[in-house]
Amino acid sequence: MKQLLSGNEAIALGAYHAGVAVATAYPGTPSTEILQSIARMDGLYAEWAINEKVALEVGMGAAYGGVRTLVSMKHVGLNVAADPFFAVSTTGTIGGLVIVSCDDPGEHSSQGEQDNRHFAKIGKVPMLEPTDSQEAYDLMGWAFDISEEFDTPVLLRSTTRICHCKTVVNVNKERKSDLRQPGFQRSPAKYVMVPSNARVRRHAMEERIVKLRAYVEDFPLNEMVLADRKLGVISNGIAYQYAREVFKDASHLKLTTIYPIPANLIRRFAQEVDRLIVIEELDPFLEEEIRCLGIQVTGKDFIPIIGELNAEIVENAAVEAGILPAPSKPSLRPKAPAPQLPARRPQLCAGCPHVATEYVLRKLGFSGTGSGKELKKGEFIVTSDIGCYTLGVYPPLAALDTCACMGASIGQALGLEKAGVPNKAIAVLGDSTFMHSGITGLINVVYNQGNTTVIILDNGTTAMTGHQGHPGTGISVTGKKTQQVKLEKLVEGIGIKDVTVVDAFDLKAIESTIKRCLDNDEPSVIIARGPCSLTVKTRGAPFEVDADECISCYDCLDIGCPAISISEDKAVIDSGMCLGSACGVCAQVCPQEAISESRK
């Protein structure tokens, strides 16, 4: 049956048909939909783990228990999970264990760009990578088989353009039924990595790679297409699609086994062609592996190493490098210079519960210093974390000083304090991020007697990745009620004495609480609680501006609400977007009290 599936949906369906019994993940673009898809299927266990490290540890246990297990995450998630990743590479598995790493070339929705193919090599773990949804579906079956046959976790790498691109999939399998029953066999030499055992496993790892090198030579999803022998193109992932589109007449070798590479197959291909190039996104990973075989090859000397590729980039680079002739496109008409168009920056939604807190932070802590200037006395530093609220870095809110990696805000704030920086630092992070890795930083503050103020922006969901549950929501990935972890009790439990819960839309309460906490000599936590505007069930009657009262001061624009604009010099509110009394922040900002609930 033909189905139009995204790469993520195809990975989920492929895993399901391969008989996966346990699936676990922490949401992260572009990987989130894998677990969301698989959680809708019957006959397996799926969960949102609190972070990628825990997800992989759960996956490790399930695979030790003999069942097929899927763990998925975004590229930076594998950094979080690196410790168990190396550990499970050392122990190997019993049930198949497939770790999906979804990289984000071009940083569509990430704090950094990294090529996780390197993880395969450094972890001594085989890696597969699809070029479309069909292969994502097919490779999952192979990945589980390889994992069990070679006693190893398998990495399946995907990228944003595979994860989120929909292509036609011939769904030709049914769910595998002849699978191992769960059960644990004692084997301390395999599972207990004291040095004496780990040294033995090191040899097993190297022997495994040698066997895998032979195995991948005949892997059926690597494909050689011999056409014009003047040029041979080796490519993988989405770059293969661009290579086929751009080098129409050339010979092609598509690689789906990324590590180890099929050395003899590549040698044969190299012998067939006059000139060999590699088209790959990000690092010259294949190129360097191939060069180590003693084969002359080029790639990154003309293909960009940074960002996402597309056919146009590949074509222009090949023309410039003299590999392709300049295209004889129909002469375009002469163009007037393109007009300047206003940008559409990402922004917080109308009615967003983060706006009021960030507005207050701006007002209290950023009294006029700009980039590159020393802070004045009384100003404070806002260390931020990763989530929707990071959009508060953009004007008009512009209320953040840092954003690095999940949970970092709290450690950064303590570090600034302990370094002796005279201005106080306030850490800001979301409820999901706090559960992910903020909690450990906060325990560290308590233990080391910092006086950090932490603001948890608690919108009751993991909003940026599309509203997933986490322990604070008490809702599981399948939508069922589960034990809720209460933030205020959690932070009290670790020893924070000054804990305040404020209404996320109440400017006065937020301002007075922040001021009080700044003067405090002990650590404090402010939980600013209010629902994500996209999940609000009852919105109030929209607010409107009384044009007679509006003095065109535009203070209301300082909250950056997309529902507010200017018409004939007066502020106006889009009634379709406004959440009314469910938010009401603009009315609190207006010095004229010109904004109130619509009487229409």
Provide the binding-site residues for other proteins, judged by CB under 8 A: 2, 4, 108-109, 132, 161, 164-168, 238, 241-242, 244-245, 310-312, 315, 329-330, 332-333, 335-336, 338-350, 388, 391, 396, 463-464, 466, 534, 557, 560, 562, 564-566
Min dist. Cβ of residue 74 to other proteins (A): 14
- Considering beta carbons, is residue 6 or 90 the nearer one to other proteins? 6
Q: How near is the Cβ of 558 to other proteins at its closest, in Å?
A: 10
Nearer to other proteins, 348 or 413 (CB): 348
Distance CA 583, CA 599 (A): 17
DSSP one-letter code for 349: P
Closest approach of other proteins to the CB of residue 330, in Å: 6
- Minimum distance of other proteins from residue 594's CB (angstroms): 17
Residues 28 and 465: their CA atoms lie apart, in Å, by: 6
Q: How far is the CB of 258 from other proteins (least distance, A)?
A: 20
Minimum Å distance from CB 80 to other proteins? 20
Q: Which is nearer to other proteins, 345 or 373 (CB)?
A: 345
Choice between 226 and 311, CB closer to other proteins: 311
Q: How far is CA 426 from CA 252, 361, 560, in A?
A: 54, 9, 22
CA distance 445 to 413: 9
Beta carbon of residue 353, minimum distance to other proteins (angstroms, whole number):
13
- Is 348 in contact with 354 (CB distance < 8 Å)? yes
- 250 forms bridges with which residues in the sheet? 228
Nearer to other proteins, 243 or 410 (CB): 243
Taking only Cα atoms into account, the Rg of the chain, rounded to an integer number of angstroms, comes to: 27
- Minimum CB distance to other proteins smaller for 30 or for 441: 30
Closest to other proteins by CB, 11 or 454: 11
What is the rounded distance in angstroms from the CA atom of residue 484 to the CA atom of residue 101? Answer: 29
Q: Give the DSSP per-residue string, 287-336.
A: HHHHHTTT---B-TTTS-SSS---HHHHHHHHHHTTSSPPP-PPPPPP-P
Residue number with CB closer to other proteins (215 or 394): 394
Closest distance to other proteins from the beta carbon of 237 (Å): 12
Residue with Cβ nearer other proteins (161 or 190): 161
What's the closest the beta carbon of residue 507 comes to other proteins, in angstroms? Answer: 20
Closer residue to other proteins (CB): 69 or 160:
160
Tokens of 201: 């496993």
Query: Do 81 and 55 touch, CB atoms closer than 8 A?
Result: yes
How many angstroms separate the CA atoms of 579 and 540, rounded?
6
CA nearest neighbour of 410 among 421, 425, 389, 390: 425
- 3-class SS at 252? strand
- Minimum distance, C-beta of residue 560 to other proteins, in the bound complex (Å): 6
DSSP alpha helix (H) spans, 475-545: 487-493, 507-518
User: Strands 2-6 and 166-170, how do they pair?
Assistant: antiparallel
- Token pair of 196, please? 């004496």
CB 487 within 8 A of CB 456: yes
Calculate the alpha carbon distances from 216 to 130, 248, 260, 262, 562 in Å: 15, 27, 7, 5, 53
